Amino acid sequence: MASGSRRWCFLLMVTLGLVCYSSSVAWLQPGRLPREEVLNRLRPRVDWGPSVDIQEEHLALSRSAALSVLAVLLGLSMLVQPVSADKSATVSSKIMAGGASTTGKNSGSAKNITRGVNLNGADYSGQSIVGVSFQQSSVRDSKFVNTDCQSASFFDADMTNADFTGANLNQANFELSKLRNAIFDNAVATEMYMNSATGVEFKSINGADFTDTPFRKDQLDMICPLAKGVNPKTGVATRDSLGCPE
């Protein structure tokens, strides 16, 4: 439920509670009705005697007050955002709420980039996050298996232990990002920006296609020993895409 709707529900419940309480007080107020009529309304069939008249009146007031409090509590519950039991749903909601923003030519729209979001353990497997920016965020131990990450930005993000198996990373930006133990098996990692990436100590790149993704010589010295296999989507050998020596 939207926050505006919850606020209206809260005001409505509080108003009903106050009306209920005010009406009950007015109903029992001395002078408004004969005392016998009041008691008859409270106990129409059984006469307990004058010794319990005051108790009867207080009991009715207590019930009205309790109903009023209940109405207020129900209103407050409308203001509380429900907690999701599914972590992946919670993480996805951060993107929808602006926790990570969309940008880039494939995103369809440009939005302000939100920095420093904690998305450790996020699972975006099989989803489309085209143009989403994770700038300066912590996205450790995350999964992007078969995810469409085209034009996504991981600028200065901590991607330690990230799994990009089978992901489409065309034109993704990994400038200044940390990629220790990252997995790029069968990923279409073409035209990525990697020159300034730090900690390029991939765990596995079997079948990855890095065509037109420039790496520094020191980075290639670390990556080429891992390069093997052919990308199942593009048919390009990993070593050929990197330009590794024979």
Looking at the fold, whether 111 and 70 belong to one and the same domain comes out as: no
Distance CA 233, CA 49 (A): 90
Indicate which CATH number applies to the domain containing 192. 2.160.20.80
- Whether pLDDT at 229 is above 80: yes
Q: What is the DSSP letter of 168?
A: B
Residue 59 structural domain? 3-79
Looking at the fold, whether 243 and 141 belong to one and the same domain comes out as: yes
Distance CA 175, CA 110 (A): 19
Sign of CA dihedral 198, 201, 205, 210: positive
Question: Average pLDDT over the chain, rounded to whole?
Answer: 73
59 vs 211: which has the higher pLDDT? 211
- Letter for the amino acid at 34? P
Domain boundary among 79, 101, 128: 79
The neighbour count for residue 5, using CB atoms within 10 Å, is 10
Q: Total domain count for the chain?
A: 2
Looking at the fold, whether 99 and 60 belong to one and the same domain comes out as: no
| pLDDT value for 157 | 94
26 vs 175: which has the higher pLDDT? 175
Looking at the fold, whether 180 and 143 belong to one and the same domain comes out as: yes
Domain boundary among 61, 79, 97: 79
Residue 144, CA atoms < 13 Å, CB-side half-sphere: 33
For the stretch 118-152, pLDDT in tens is 999 999 999 999 999 999 999 999 999 999 999 99
Looking at the fold, whether 72 and 129 belong to one and the same domain comes out as: no
| pLDDT value for 197 | 76
Looking at the fold, whether 113 and 217 belong to one and the same domain comes out as: yes
Looking at the fold, whether 103 and 73 belong to one and the same domain comes out as: no
Looking at the fold, whether 31 and 124 belong to one and the same domain comes out as: no
User: Do residues 133 and 100 touch, judged by C-beta distance below 8 A?
Assistant: yes
| pLDDT value for 52 | 45
For the stretch 25-72, pLDDT in tens is 444 454 555 555 545 655 545 444 544 454 555 545 456 555 555 555
User: Do residues 156 and 174 touch, judged by C-beta distance below 8 A?
Assistant: no
Looking at the fold, whether 53 and 166 belong to one and the same domain comes out as: no
Looking at the fold, whether 65 and 98 belong to one and the same domain comes out as: no
- Whether pLDDT at 165 is above 90: yes
- Whether pLDDT at 153 is above 60: yes
CA dihedral 111, 114, 119, 120 (to 10 degrees): 130
Distance CA 190, CA 133 (A): 18
Domain boundary among 45, 79, 113: 79
Confidence class for position 209, pLDDT limits 50, 70, 90: very high
Looking at the fold, whether 52 and 95 belong to one and the same domain comes out as: no
Looking at the fold, whether 124 and 20 belong to one and the same domain comes out as: no
Distance CA 243, CA 224 (A): 9
